[in-house]
Amino acid sequence: MNEVNFLLWVRGIGFDIALAIFVFGIMLRFMEILWLGRKPELAAVRGNGVASGMRTVFSRFLPADSNTLKRSLFMVVAGYGFHIGLFVVIFLFAPHAELIESVTGLSWPTLPSPIVDFFTVLTMLALMALLWRRLTHPVLRFLSTGEDYLMLLLTFLPVLTGYMAFHHLFLSYGWMLGLHILSVELLLIVIPFTKLIHMFTLFMARWYSGFMAGQKGVQS
Amino acid sequence: MTTRKDLTVGEALRTQGISRRGFLKFCAATASMMALPPSSIPAIAAALEKARRPSVIWLSFQECTGCTESLTRSHAPSIEGLIFNVISLDYHHTLQAASGDAAEEARHTAMKENDGKYIVVVDGSIPVKDGGVYSTIAGMTNLEILKETVAGAAAVIAVGSCAAFGGLPAANPNPTGAVSVSELVKDKPVVNIPGCPPIPVVISGVIAHFLTFGLPELDNLGRPKAFYGTSIHDRCYRRPFYDKGLFAETFDDEGAKKGWCLYKLGCKGPTTYNACATMKWNNGTSFPIEAGHGCIGCSEPQFWDAGGFYKALAEPTGNFTTTAGVAVAAGAALGAASGLLNRNKQKQAGAEHETVTADNLEKEQTS
Amino acid sequence: MSHLTDIPVALENLPSTHNVTPLLNEVRHALQALLTTGEATQIDLRSIPLSDRDVAQIQDALGVGEVEIQINALGPSMIKETTFAGVWWVEHRNSSNELTGRYIEITPVPDIVPSAMSDIQDGLERLNRRVE
């Protein structure tokens, strides 16, 4: 298989397979959760559940209090660093936006590539810092499973290959671009079936706990 | 023009009344043609002075003559054209005056007289399906002519994307079983000069390199690194707009008028390796991107089947909407079924007053 | 219209490639090298991605100096000293007046200017034949 064939495959059949598994998996997981249902709430409603639910979706982006922040400063900085970095890199790089537009029809303005490049480096550094912490922190290390390391790797690879393709490192642009797309396709395939599903269920879960707390008249 | 075959290139030029200044100018253009720095001009002058005029046999197979057009129509009388005075083009069935048996005789004579030293230039792909019957010259299949001619050659130059990679004749579904030269010639050095057509200066530049310093350095696709070493994108004058995130969205919008990057309009510059952005076309006048159209990647393998000229490189090439639609429906149905099943299980467990122990949770964690 | 150059072309605000300043710096270093080591330098302007505006900017920056030489060999060549002595603007054209090379040469005299010994020899022979 030459460079052109490889690139064609990942842009063609490879993408079709990955996208199909991805949307299939997302639908499967959501329907599973939603159809499971909840027990009817018999207690008297004491507050606005919807407003509380909406608030909670956003309020939990912020650290709970200064004490928690101080105790886990490293996790907050590295965690936010790589999440924001990923957001910028995935959504605000022009070729990525072009891909999303071609699939969904949605478009938005993008950033100059040197800025995206900076965020790429930031993301990689944050991910490496998180791996280092996972390996050195005794409790975290004890709790870590193979999946945790695999997810870290699968998240890291698209960023790394994208960076290497952009800067023409090691392989020709075509091969590297192909590897980059392939690594993203791997990631797309595993997202619905691993802890990475949190990128979607997170909002539902937050809304639900906010909603329940709101109905009970307590702060979430 | 009468030329004696035992003359060196320097002598041949002098007999044409070309002065030393003219020769230096020729060497400067040759250096530029070979993508070498001006500091190499003295070395080129010395090498050309001594080089013998090589015999060249040009074979045209499944092609459109665009490559020959590119070269001969470039800009006569030109310095590149002079290169063709310093080689002995002994067979080229489009250009030669002789035809029929006389033409084939010329090929055989050149092969015999220069055994082991002549250069074979091929444009066009070679059909191999059904014994190669789809293209024949003088009753011989292209395959037979190629094998016979290459046997005594010093090297083979595959000119154009068809000869280098199969090109249009090999495009899906490839009815004639067309293949590239390098798929058939394994025991001789093959230099690929892809492009549809290749830049004329690049063709003559490779021949000039042959004359002066021998075989040029090649990349993994057999292309001379001097001309195919960087991508169009990396040498493009519109590159700063790509980096700033300024793109033309249509061919007639404000961005297109301002000369912004054509990436979103399907430009294949990032994956295309060629010298168009620096050497340009029509003697350095312009090149496709400068004229407002994205690169179509004509010098890359399978450019014709590479997923659409107007699709941005980032865009998927397949027809994903149907498969994704089916996947959504299947996911929803299976998810609902599984959710309902679990719900029933839950109800049943509630009705039967099943208890959950720490062991159950442990099991769930590890499963 | 027999030449491309006859077609009236209005230069719009073409994008700059930001290669002008680095190029002028290269000329500066080459001039310094010429003074200290006597080493001449040739810069092939066509090997660098430059827009027409860039070329005009470089030409403006270097200006036109005292010497202008036209050579007619395989087409015209224009060799002009810039306002900086030792920095030459060299343009080679073929017999159809199309540009075949554009260089900045940093040297006391570009190599192509002085008569070559082989041509002098040739000239002497022709003169001998004429006079004898």
User: Nearest CA of chain B to the CA of A198: how many Å?
Assistant: 17
Interchain proximity A23–B305, CB inside 8 Å: no
Task: Using CA coordinates, name the residue in chain C closest to B226.
Answer: C47
Q: Is residue A107 part of a domain?
A: yes
**Contact indicator for A2, B164 with CB cutoff of 8 Å:** no
pLDDT of the residue at B77: 47
CATH assignment of C4-131, given 3.30.470.20, 3.30.1370.140, 2.40.160.40, 3.20.20.140? 3.30.1370.140
> Looking at chain B, which residue has its C-alpha nearest residue A102?
B315
pLDDT at B253: 93
Contact residues, chain A, for B333 at CB < 8 Å: 31
- Look at residue C13 and tell me whether its pLDDT is greater than 80: no
Residues of chain B with pLDDT under 70: 1-6, 73-85, 361-367
Residue A102 lies in a domain: yes
Q: How many domains does chain A have?
A: 1
Q: What is the mean pLDDT of chain A?
A: 89
Answer whether residue A31 is part of any domain.
Answer: no
- Is residue B57 within 8 A of residue B106, CB to CB? The reply is no
Task: Identify which of B242, B270, B326 has the shortest CB distance to residue A173.
Answer: B270
Q: Number of CB pairs < 8 Å for B and C?
A: 97
C118 near B CB under 8 A: yes
**Best of A1, A6, A26, A36 to disrupt the B interface by mutation (most B CBs within 10 Å)?**
A36
A-B Cβ pairs (cutoff 8 Å, strict): 141
Where is average pLDDT lowest: A4-8, A126-130, B24-28, C17-21?
A: C17-21
3-state secondary structure of A62: coil
Confidence of residue C11 (pLDDT cuts 50, 70, 90): low
Domains of chain C by residue range: 4-131
| Sheet strands side by side (includes B119-123) | B88-92, B55-60, B119-123, B155-159, B190-193
Question: Who wins on pLDDT, B36 or C59?
Answer: C59
Report d(CA A31, CA B338) in Å as an integer: 8
B122 φ/ψ angles, rounded to the nearest 5 degrees: -120, 130
Query: Which of B21, B27, B261, B279 to substitute to test the interface with C, most C CBs within 10 Å?
Result: B21
Q: Which residues contact B294 (CB under 8 A, 6 or more apart)?
A: B262, B263, B265, B266, B267, B268, B269, B288, B309, B310
Q: Which two tokens stand for residue B197?
A: 């057509």
* Chain B contact present for C125, CB below 8 A: no
CB–CB of A62/B228 below 8 Å? no
Using the structure block, give the residue that is written with the tokens 């007289």. Answer: B113
Among A73-82, B190-199, C78-87, C90-99, the minimum mean pLDDT is found in C90-99
State the smallest CA–CA distance between residue C105 and chain B in angstroms: 10
Identify the closest residue of chain B to C19 by CA–CA distance: B237
Give the nearest partner residue to A31 out of B311, B313, B336, using CB atoms: B336
Per the structure, the complete domain to which residue A131 belongs is given by 78-144
Q: Quick check: do C and A touch, 3+ CB pairs under 8 A? A: no
Look at C29 and B4; give whichever has higher pLDDT: C29
Please indicate whether chains B and C are in contact, defined as at least 3 beta carbon pairs under 8 Å. yes
In this prediction, residue B64 carries a pLDDT of 93
How far is residue B43's CA from residue B33's CA, in Å, rounded to a whole number?
15
The whole-angstrom distance between B301's CA and the closest CA on chain A is 7
- If you write DSSP's letter for every residue of B95-134 in order, what string do you get? T-S--HHHHHHHHHHHHHHTTTT-EEEEESBEE-GGGGTT
List the single residue in A with minimal CA-CA distance to B264: A98
In-domain check, residue A160: no
Buried b (16+ CB within 10 A) or exposed e, A134-143: eeeeeeeeee
Chain A hits for B350, CB-CB cut-off 8 Å, are: none
Shortest alpha-carbon distance between residue C81 and chain B (Å): 18
Chain B: give the shortest CA distance to residue A116, in Å. 10
Q: Which residue of B has its CA nearest to A176?
A: B271
Is the ipTM of this structure higher than 0.85?
Answer: no
pLDDT one-digit tens code per residue, A146-203: 999 999 999 999 999 999 999 888 888 889 999 999 999 999 999 999 999 999 998 8
Inform me whether the pLDDT recorded for C49 exceeds 90: no
